Amino acid sequence: MVTIAPDIEVLSRFGRALADPIRCRILIALREAPAHPAELADLLGISRTRLSNHLACLRDCGLVVTVPVGRRIRYELADARLGHALDDLRTAVIAVAADRTCPDSADQGCC
């Protein structure tokens, strides 16, 4: 059974998904078109195992869904509005000082 997550949980899940550059690249690719895992792995230049782990995270976050196509599985965004949200986030102007990092990231910057 699918349930609708409360606002804060939705934002938290979206943040978790976007916290990794590979997951961001997967979401952007799926924004363009649904894809099979092998296609995504080739497009992103990563192993299928690594891709599988990231797809599992995105499924757990509720951002992507699987669609059976014959004997294969295709991935797509769970909701078309996620594509619009990704576009809005990608084009948002963020004020960041060059020498600043996020407080939560000890060894790397936010982005």
State how far the alpha carbon of 15 is from the alpha carbons of 21, 94, 104, in Å. Answer: 12, 16, 13
The better pLDDT of the pair 39, 7 is held by: 39
Q: How far apart are CA 43 and CA 41, in angstroms?
A: 6
DSSP class of 106: S
With cut-offs at 50, 70 and 90, classify the pLDDT of residue 107.
very low
Domains of the chain and CATH, by start:
7-91 (1.10.10.10)
Q: Supply the pLDDT for residue 99.
A: 63
pTM of this structure: 0.77
Residue 37 near residue 52, CB atoms below 8 Å: yes
